[in-house]
Amino acid sequence: MIIRSLELETVCGITSTLPENTLPEIAFAGKSNVGKSSLINGLMNRKSFARTSATPGKTQTINFYNINQELYLVDLPGYGYAKVSEQEKKKWGQMIERYLHQSKQLRAVFLLIDIRHAPSANDKMMYDWILSQGYQPIIIATKLDKLKRSQVQKQVKVVRQGLGLSKDSILIPFSAVTKQGRDEIWDLAEEICGLKESEEGEE
């Protein structure tokens, strides 16, 4: 994917009305400190377009990034951050649920899991919950650069088993530092959104 134009088009808070988009949407969910903003910046080839923060739990809105007037990357609020009140967590959960139910253009949900650790109870809950909403989550195993190469396959297995993934479930290891996995994620997103044909037609 060559990024020709990029715009943070809509920011939805807890009481906001969700946009009636006409372009396909790809959503990203994950724990507060899993590297979601770094992933989105990596996909968009920008250093700091999606706000990264040393303080987990900063993304309290649903952010819609318009890419090339062709699709949206949708950044969902991070979950599982301990310092946020239960009431606040519940509101974020309801906001994500409302989005998954109401979006007419959502094509896929990518769920980010830190490759260094076994999936947490929150990760498992989120995975099962996305499944229950009718979506097959695509797993992105982040922070790949923090592992030695010899550890990667072992940790991929740990993540797969921890979530109870089936053999045909997609898992893509990703590093925001080396950008490994970026092209694979984009290829998949374009295929899911039906953009492959139009791009090939342009060539």
Rounded Cα distance between 31 and 192, Å, is 24
Q: Which helix (H) or strand (E) holds 145?
A: none
Average pLDDT over residues 114-135: 93
pLDDT > 70? residue 56 = no
* Token pair in block for residue 29: 């969910």
pLDDT > 90? residue 55 = no
Q: pLDDT tens digits for 82-123?
A: 566 777 777 778 888 899 999 999 999 999 999 999 999 989
pLDDT the model gives residue 54: 54
Q: Would you say 62 and 77 are in contact if contact means Cβ atoms under 8 Å apart?
A: yes
Whether pTM > 0.85 for this model: the answer is yes
pLDDT the model gives residue 76: 92
pLDDT the model gives residue 14: 83
Q: Would you say 127 and 44 are in contact if contact means Cβ atoms under 8 Å apart?
A: no
Rounded Cα distance between 31 and 34, Å, is 5
* Token pair in block for residue 92: 């974020």
pLDDT the model gives residue 46: 86
Half-sphere exposure of 156 (CA within 13 A, CB side): 15
CB atoms within 10 A of CB 147: 17
pLDDT the model gives residue 15: 84
Q: Please name which of 106, 62, 190 lies closest in space to residue 50, comparing C-alpha atoms.
A: 62
pLDDT the model gives residue 203: 43
pLDDT > 90? residue 138 = yes
pLDDT the model gives residue 27: 97
Q: What is the CA radius of gyration of the chain?
A: 16
pLDDT the model gives residue 201: 47
Average pLDDT over residues 67-81: 89
Rounded Cα distance between 177 and 122, Å, is 26
